[in-house]
């Protein structure tokens, strides 16, 4: 078994993004393996899922130590995601596509990436509106874990959908979960969103990995090379995200996912480049509009925190 240095570097970049944003693992790793390294789609999905099993804990441990994880949310998500993830790994093997399995898998993966890209856009807009900042990463409303009212039924359904996506395509653990969590629980801090997502992804990916190890096309050499870069990348990215999650990286990631999805769905290179360029232009126009809107909004007067002279003289 030989170590492939380009794969190590690719794993390092993807691992850092996963630790930083809580998303982008399968959404970046699998297309990278298919398009850059020319790996068979089924091998790419199986190897990526198994790699995530070791990459995710590196970031999850950092957030657990910093207390940025909502454990009750993790529990309800796992009730839905663990059985669904194992089932997804079996389902992708049982699909009756025969020789056209690769093409079918690319189509499923392309649709999943489109959903992930759209979810990132929704999250960016919600963050801009919530924080009243064009950067989308303003201070979140503080909320202690015990104050959050958990909604079990929609949380379990979310876990099941994400688990099925991960089992079939390796996409969804972060790209889908973290966006819907933001919609369901807007009071969560950004660091809690990332931390909760990373921790719930560990048992989810473990179930999907078991299915792919038993029935998939897992490659030990490819996965080992990815992990050598991905584990330290996720660890370092999680340390950064626990202090300041990267909103701008998520928006760049959305454009990259859009381009990857269109390529997987069979779009020509000019169409892919044109769509990515249009998304970049429209995204910047929206960003400037939001920036002007919030800059023009009347600022609340800031109370002077210095002591009143009269009151000070009275106390003395």
Tens digit of each residue's pLDDT (9 = 90 or more) over 221-265: 899 999 999 889 888 877 776 555 455 666 766 777 788 788 878
What mean pLDDT value characterizes the chain?
A: 77
In angstroms, the CA 255 to CA 251 distance is 7
In angstroms, the CA 259 to CA 308 distance is 59
Residue 210 predicted with pLDDT over 50: yes
Q: 15-24, 240-249, 298-307: which range is least confident on average?
A: 298-307
Residue 216 predicted with pLDDT over 60: yes
Nearest partner of 58 among 208, 207, 297, 231, judged by Cα: 231
Q: Which residue has the higher pLDDT, 191 or 229?
A: 229
Model confidence band, residue 301 (pLDDT cutoffs 50, 70, 90): very low
In angstroms, the CA 163 to CA 64 distance is 22
Nearest partner of 28 among 230, 310, 260, judged by Cα: 260
Q: 40-44, 73-77, 98-102, 185-189: which range is least confident on average?
A: 98-102
Location of structure tokens 């949310």: 73
The pLDDT of residue 77: 95
Residue 201 predicted with pLDDT over 80: yes
């Amino acid at each position: 078994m030989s170590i492939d240095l380009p794969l190590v570097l690719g794993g390092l970049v993807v691992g850092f993004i996963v630790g930083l944003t809580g998303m982008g693992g399968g959404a970046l790793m699998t297309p990278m393996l298919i398009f850059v390294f020319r790996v068979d789609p089924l091998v790419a999905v199986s190897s990526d899922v198994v790699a995530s099993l070791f990459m995710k804990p590196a970031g999850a441990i950092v957030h657990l130590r910093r207390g940025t994880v909502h454990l009750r949310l993790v529990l309800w998500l796992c009730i839905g995601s663990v059985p669904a993830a194992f089932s997804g790994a079996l389902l992708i093997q049982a699909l009756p596509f025969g020789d056209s399995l690769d093409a079918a898998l690319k189509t499923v993966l392309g649709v999943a990436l489109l959903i992930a890209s759209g979810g990132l856009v929704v999250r960016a807009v919600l963050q801009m509106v919530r924080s009243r900042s064009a950067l989308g990463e303003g201070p979140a409303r503080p909320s202690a874990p015990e104050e959050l009212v958990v909604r079990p039924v929609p949380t379990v359904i979310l876990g099941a959908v994400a688990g099925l996506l991960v089992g079939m395509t390796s996409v969804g653990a972060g790209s889908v979960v973290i966006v819907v969590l933001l919609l369901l629980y807007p009071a969560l801090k950004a660091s809690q969103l990332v931390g909760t997502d990373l921790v719930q992804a560990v048992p989810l990916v473990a179930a999907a990995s078991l299915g792919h190890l038993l029935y998939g096309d897992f490659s030990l050499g490819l996965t080992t090379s990815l992990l050598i870069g991905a584990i330290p990348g996720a660890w370092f990215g999680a340390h950064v995200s626990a202090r300041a999650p990267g909103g701008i990286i998520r928006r760049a990631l959305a454009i990259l996912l859009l381009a990857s999805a269109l390529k997987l769905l069979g779009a020509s290179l000019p169409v892919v480049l044109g769509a990515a360029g249009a998304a970049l232009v429209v995204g910047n126009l929206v960003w400037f509009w939001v920036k002007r809107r919030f800059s023009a909004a009347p600022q609340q007067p800031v109370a002077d925190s210095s002591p009143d002279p009269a009151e000070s003289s009275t106390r003395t």
